[in-house]
Amino acid sequence: MLPISVAAELAGMHPQTLRQYDRLGLVQPRRTRGRGRRYSMRDVVRLREVQRLSQEEGVNLAGIKRIMELEDELVQVRSENQRLRLIADPGQRIFAAGPSGDVVAVPRGTRVRRVSTASGGALVLWRPQGR
């Protein structure tokens, strides 16, 4: 984790700009116990993208915030889409009981180890017939 001075230098901007971006919600650094900001390299990459959109594309900060929100949502939607495709793909339809007792899809070839429970049960795998 990087202090604000290092993150600002890596992102090519003034520390006060990082504080402003934090207040606007464009980046969300972690906080120390004393409330100091700590940035990850992922935050630095995001800050560079904010700067690029602002300077090269001429997008205002409200527009940049919306673009970032939509990109984050797209990542989540793609992840959910991939999860649902694994469930729907007959070649991948192997199921197991998850830690909470829910039925979860497991990719073919995944090794599942038996897990002892308080009632002495074990993890069971099965595949639908005819698929």
Q: How far apart are CA 11 and CA 46, in angstroms?
A: 9
* Bridge partner list, 105: 95
Mean pLDDT of 88-113: 67
Whether the pLDDT of residue 118 is over 90: the answer is no
25-69 tens-digit pLDDT: 999 999 999 989 999 999 999 999 999 999 999 999 999 999 999
Whether the pLDDT of residue 74 is over 90: the answer is yes
Please report the pLDDT score of residue 131 as a whole number: 47
Q: Which residues contact 123 (CB under 8 A, 6 or more apart)?
A: 96, 97, 112, 113, 114, 115
Q: How far apart are CA 94 and CA 89, in angstroms?
A: 10
Q: How far apart are CA 101 and CA 124, in angstroms?
A: 11
- Specify the higher pLDDT residue, 109 or 69: 69
Exposed e or buried b per residue across 91-125, where buried means at least 16 C-beta atoms within 10 angstroms of its C-beta: eebbeebeeeeeeebbeeeeeeeeeeeeeeeeeee
Name the E strands within 13-131.
30-31, 37-39, 95-97, 103-105, 125-126
1-21 tens-digit pLDDT: 999 999 999 999 999 999 999
